[in-house]
Amino acid sequence: MLSRQQLRIAAFSTAVIAFAATSGSVLAQKKYDTGATDTEIKIGNIMPYSGPASAYGVIGKTEEAYFKKINAEGGINGRKINFISYDDGYSPPKAVEQARKLVESDEVLLVFNPLGTPSNSAIQKYMNAKKVPQLFVATGATKWNDPKDFPWTMGWQPSYQSEARIYAKYLLKEKPDGKIAVMYQNDDFGKDYLKGLKDGLGAKASMVVAEESYETTEPTIDNHIVKLKATGADVFLNITTPKFAAQAIKKIAEIEWKPLHIVSNVSASVGSVIKPAGFENAQGILSAAYAKDGADSQWDNDPGMKKFYAFLEKYYPEANKLDGSVVYGYGVAQTMVKVLEMCGDNLTRENVMKQAASLKDFVPDTMLPGVKINTSATDFAPIEQLQMMRFKGEKWDLFGDIISGELSN
Amino acid sequence: MELFTNQILAGIATGAIYACMALAVVMIYQAIDHLNFAQGEMAMFSTFISWQLMQWGIPYWGAFVLTLALSFAGGIAIERLLFKPLAKAPILTNVAGFIALFAIINSVAGLIWDFTIKQYPTPFGSHPFLGSQLISTHQAGMIGVTVVLLILLYFFFQFTRMGLAMRAAASLPESARLVGINTSWMIALGWGMAAAIGSIAGMMIAPVVFLEPNMMGGVLIYGFAAAVLGGLTSPLGAVIGGFLVGIFENLAGTYIPGAGNELKLPIALALIIVVLVVKPAGLFGRPIVKRV
Amino acid sequence: MSAIQESVTEAPVVEAVPKKAMTLGYGTSLVMLALLIAVPLFVKNFIIFQLTMLLIYAIAVLALNILTGGSGQFSLGQSAFYAVGAYTSAILMEHGGINYALTLPVAGIVCFGFGFLFGQPALRLSGVYLALATFALATAMPQLLKLGAFEYWTGGVQGLVVTKPDAPFGLPMGQDMWLYYFTLAISIAIYIFSVNLLKSRSGRAFMAIRDNEIAASAMGIDVALYKTLAFGVSAGITGVAGGLGAIAVQFVAPDSYTITLAISLFLGMVVGGVGWLPGSIVGSAFIIFVPNIAEGISKGLSGAVFGVLLFLVIFLVPHGARQGAIVAQHLIGKLRKN
């Protein structure tokens, strides 16, 4: 047994050692890259505020409002966020110009949530060459999860292919001899989905009896629906953006076709798609989700959504909370703030990527219960889980388990 | 065979949309001898106004008539304020003006009413028409309205003094002035009427395609194509052109193998160019004789 | 709808521009040249990139000026030729490993052929109808580029990433600066070529056709040949601009070449002054910088602000920058007299 004297010495020594060890990090140097200082963190962003995809511009506005809220509450580790967002009109050359402006002229620390696969494809090489984080890109294309070749680029939402695979799994189980008709938008979004579906069906890819593509310049896709009904298919996969999804739902009801109707998550918003298309036309439609729907009254008392609604009321009152894009903007902005918090005083670009790749079971306020964000040095896909849901009455009924759409690369 | 008739019917249904728009295009062409690229946006804006009126409680037909009047006045106002000063400027400068107008209207609509789609009511109901699942009562109604408009326009241009005066002012302004026609106001009137017709087109189209600021972009191209195909001087041609474009596009998409579906629009447009090469004034247009 | 023929003394779509007004005086030209050479040495890389894009779009607007201002053919379809040029360069560089500088003449020739071919059916069309036909071409191009049949070469909807060239012979220049001077050299060459083209016999034929096609043909000008030639040359130059664009942006995709680009080039021509070649750079500056200014003024209404600014420009100078230059010339003349 140690004597009292020896105990005291031991305790004292331990304390000194402990102090010495921790003071090392307390007195650690603050590390900054361009765009971060003691008082400010500059975040760049590129959104289509004009042009064909201007409906998504509201995501940028939501993020701006969110960062305003964070600043009003003291900022991140005492630093205010300076959010600089530019319009690229959904044009890749313009996106390149804006990215260069942000990095070289505005000298931001990172570019956050740039939107659109073409725009992100255009700037990916540049961002990686300049070693500036291209973080939480606003597109579900599968190619953003590639830390080996593009260590500075990371996605956020579940990839289109993984969502399609989830539907494929479901169909193989519930309707193994179904005949699938697919209508898809003729761009990266539609084609990525289609690939995921076919890969997911694997040997049974022959279940797909018809594929119809459409262009966003078409005023209405009604005639495609007519054509697909004529193929005799009994499963319909609706890979469209909101306007066309609503048109499809309405037309299918009008021509009295009753397939098993699956709509992509992109167009599952009650407020922006289902309500205009008509609740009575949407009964029984399936989809999958990773976030809560602002128009769905089942979340009215959910603590996370309550925070979201309070935020909207105070900082962005004119927002249309029925718009899925607003919920999206909030969730991804919250993730960004978490990553910056985790960086502490080490605000180098390298550390930002490191922290972004170290998210463990992070749950933004707007995620469905059970969906968690996880990343690692080899896993640059933050959200990979979805839950399937069926439309009943005036809302989506979630069913089944949270499924992981992980792609085994 | 059934697929063929189905696609024809579906083509007529979509074609009604193009025909409606094409009438507005022909109207403005009759007035100013040029195509107004902002026509679609003006129609969209009018439709939003009618939607807003209905949101404020005004019933459908009340809002319809009120919007017609407002669009007519708005068209005249735009012409007087923005394009009368450009009357002496080269045509290409005027075209730049149309493009500027397009940008302004689209942007303002997006700001006021945002970009989420809105449901727009139809007075004709949405049930299958005569039991056919391919044409709904609304689409039949739309065709009916288009035909009524067409007849009204025909009478206007052929049998009224105003219509005649407008045609004269557009094709031979100097001579028209000599016989006492106020060509400047004829242009304003043309703009007003085109805006009003456009608003009807918008209100007919919105129930099918859903109301949002970018809804007319695609429709306008088809409207132009239909008007040109039918002959820019002929309202009847515009309507028939609209239906032909709709039908042809559908058939091309269905029957041309491989790329047929992806190239529907280019094929339809190529067809129109072919027709123009053979008949430069369009199917029903009056051949134009140029003098040196 | 009677069958009575409608006879029209059609106002020409494009008004005549006297030959002398086609170019700048020597003094102004030298000043411009000096500026273009010197400025990049003092600014950041990003501004150099913007200046490179300025030159590239100026080349495209110049091509349109030859077609519309020179030969009177109203085209809203230049984005199609720009796209073909861009993809030609990109495909040759990425699939064929060919040196970037060599891809440009190829892009030019391919587009020349393409333009020449398109000019054939366009012969029978004029004014509004031609505008629509070219508009149709521009709208169709993105869809053609997405076609599954070509996907291996074009990258389909994903597009192609292009490698940026380094300065040759180990010159101590950054990539951006080298690309700028390379583009500048090509722009100057194209400008001199175009000025000489318009001063030459072919140029006079173009202008005769523009001012009065029937009279021109009555005088013995082979209207068909010169019209298609104008299309070809214009398309070829636009193709070179497209190739340069692909190299500068380092990326080609169908979404980069929509009808919006064609409309922008058209606006650039109008603002610069139709038929006034030096105005091309003014027009190009307008379409690159004014949208940025509009965005700076109001993000939500950037389109509306752009429209308003455009209206202001066309109200004040309906004939474009040429008018502004003439006014400036008068003022300078007056000052000299005093």
- For the stretch A164-220, pLDDT in tens is 999 999 999 998 889 999 999 988 889 999 999 999 998 888 899 999 888 888 888
Q: Residue C284 pLDDT > 90, yes or no?
A: yes
Alpha carbon distance B175, A8 (integer Å): 115
> How confident is the prediction for chain A on average, in pLDDT?
88
pLDDT, average across residues B142-158: 87
Mutate to test the interface with C, among A96, A106, A194 (most CBs of C within 10 A): A96
Whether the pLDDT of residue A13 is over 70: the answer is no
- Measured from the Cβ of residue A316, the count of other Cβ atoms closer than 10 Å reads 21
- The per-residue pLDDT for C6 is 43
Q: How far is CA C158 from CA A53, A81, C144, in A?
A: 17, 33, 14
pLDDT at A36 over 80: yes
Q: Which residues constitute the domain of residue A315? A: 40-158+299-378
For residues A113 and A182, membership in a common domain is answered with no
pLDDT band at A71 (very low <50, low <70, confident <90, very high): very high
Question: Is the pLDDT higher at C28 or at C59?
Answer: C59
pLDDT of A76 over the 70 cut? yes
Q: What DSSP designation does C247 have?
A: H
CA dihedral in degrees (A135, A137, A143, A145; nearest 10)? 40
Average pLDDT, stretch A349-358? 94
Q: Answer whether residue A144 is part of any domain.
A: yes
- Bridge partners, A288 (sequence order): A388
Low-confidence winner among B273-277, B284-288, C315-319 (lowest mean pLDDT): B284-288
H/E segment holding residue B4 = helix B2-32
In this structure, the strands spanning C6-8 and B288-290 are parallel
- Same domain flag for A362 and A397: no
pLDDT surpassing 90 at residue B41 = yes
Judged against a pLDDT cut of 60, whether residue C2 lies above it is answered with no
**Which residue reads 């289509």 in tokens?**
A48
Residue C9 within a domain: no
Tokens representing C127?
A: 């004014």
**C-alpha to C-alpha distances, C78 to A100, B274, C197, C242, nearest whole angstrom:** 26, 20, 20, 10
Check residue A152 and give its pLDDT.
Answer: 95
Tell whether B151 lies on the interface with C, counting CB pairs under 8 A.
no
B229 — pLDDT class (breaks 50, 70, 90): confident
**A166 and A278 assigned to the same domain:** yes
Question: What is the pLDDT averaged over residues C68-87?
Answer: 91
Q: Name the helix (H) or strand (E) containing A260.
A: strand A260-263
pLDDT-above-90 percentage for chain C? 38
Which residues of chain A from 214 to 253 reach within 8 Å of chain B, CB to CB? Answer: 215-220, 222-223, 226-227, 230, 242-243, 246-247, 250
The answer to whether B276 contacts chain C (CB < 8 Å) is: yes
Question: B92, B261, B277, B292: which to substitute to probe chain C, counting the most C Cβ within 10 Å?
Answer: B92
CA C249 to chain A, closest CA, distance in angstroms equals: 6
Per-residue pLDDT, averaged over B130-156, amounts to 82
Contact across the interface for C307 and B107, Cβ inside 8 Å:
yes
Chain B hits for C2, CB-CB cut-off 8 Å, are 286
Q: Of residues A285 and A205, which shows the higher confidence score?
A: A285
Q: Which of C177, C251, C292, C302 to mutate against chain A (most A CBs within 10 Å)?
A: C251
* Residue B4 forms contact with A (CB below 8 Å): no
Query: pLDDT tens-digit profile of C94-144?
Result: 888 888 889 999 999 999 999 998 888 888 787 778 888 888 889 888 888
Determine the distance in angstroms separating the CA of B235 from the nearest CA of chain C, rounded to an integer: 9
Nearest CB neighbour to B107, from listed C15, C128, C303:
C303
Nearest to A93 among C46, C245, C291 (CB): C245
- Inter-chain contact B107–A50, Cβ cutoff 8 Å? yes
Inside any domain, residue A119 = yes
What is the b/e burial string over A64-82, where b = at least 16 CB atoms within 10 angstroms of the residue's CB?
bbbbbbbbeeebbeebbbb
Q: What is the mean pLDDT of residues A125-153?
A: 93
Over residues A77-115, the pLDDT tens digits come to 999 999 999 999 899 999 999 999 999 999 999 999 999
Instruction: Indicate yes or no: CB of B34 within 8 angstroms of CB of C128.
Output: yes
Identify whether A19 is part of a domain. Answer: no
- Determine phi and psi for C29, rounding to 5 degrees: -60, -45
Overall fold of domain B2-278: ABC transporter involved in vitamin B12 uptake, BtuC (1.10.3470)
For residue B176, the model assigns a pLDDT of 86
Kindly state whether residue C113 falls inside one of the protein's structural domains.
Answer: yes
Q: Are A93 and A170 found together in one domain?
A: no
Statement to judge: residues A178 and A255 lie in one domain: yes
pLDDT at C50 over 50: yes
How many domains does chain C contain in total? 1
Chains in touch with B (≥3 Cβ pairs < 8 A): A, C
Look-up of token digits 């951006």: C176
**What range does the domain containing C285 cover?**
22-165+173-337
Same domain, A55 and A129: yes
Using DSSP, state whether A45 is helix, strand or coil: strand
Quick one: which H or E segment has residue A80? strand A80-87
Total Cβ atoms within 10 A of residue A128: 16
User: For the residues A120-145, what does the mean pLDDT come to?
Assistant: 93
- The answer to whether the Cβ–Cβ distance between C304 and B89 falls below 8 Å is no
Q: Is residue A50 one of the residues assigned to a domain?
A: yes
Question: What band does B235 get if pLDDT is binned at 50, 70 and 90?
Answer: confident
Rounded to the nearest angstrom, the minimum Cα separation between C46 and chain A is: 6
Q: Is residue A260 part of a domain?
A: yes
Q: Whats the size of chain C, residue-wise?
A: 338
Assess whether A281 and A321 both reside in one domain.
no
Strands A31-32 and A346-347: parallel
The answer to whether B193 and B74 have CB atoms below 8 angstroms apart is no
| pLDDT confidence of residue B132 | 65
Give the mean model confidence (pLDDT) for residues B234-250.
88
Q: Read off the pLDDT of each residue in B32-50 and give the average, rounded to a whole number.
A: 90
Does the residue C249 lie in any domain? yes
Specify the number of domains making up chain A.
Answer: 2
What confidence tier does A2 reach under pLDDT thresholds 50, 70, 90?
Answer: low
**A: neighbours with 3+ CB pairs under 8 Å?**
B, C
SS3 of residue A88 by DSSP = coil
The complex's ipTM works out to 0.88
**Domain at A149, CATH number:** 3.40.50.2300
Quickly list H helices, chain C.
26-38, 45-64, 78-94, 100-122, 127-146, 151-154, 175-199, 201-211, 213-218, 223-249, 259-272, 279-297, 302-316, 321-337
Least CB–CB distance from C49: residue in A100, A121, A125: A100
Which CATH number characterizes residue C293's domain?
1.10.3470
Name the band, by pLDDT with cuts 50, 70 and 90, for residue A26.
very low
Q: Which residue of C has its CA nearest to A99?
A: C46
> In a mutagenesis test of the B interface, which of C4, C5, C8, C323 is the best target, namely the one with the most B β-carbons within 10 Å?
C8
- What pLDDT is stored for residue A409 in this prediction? 34
Write down the pLDDT at residue C4: 40
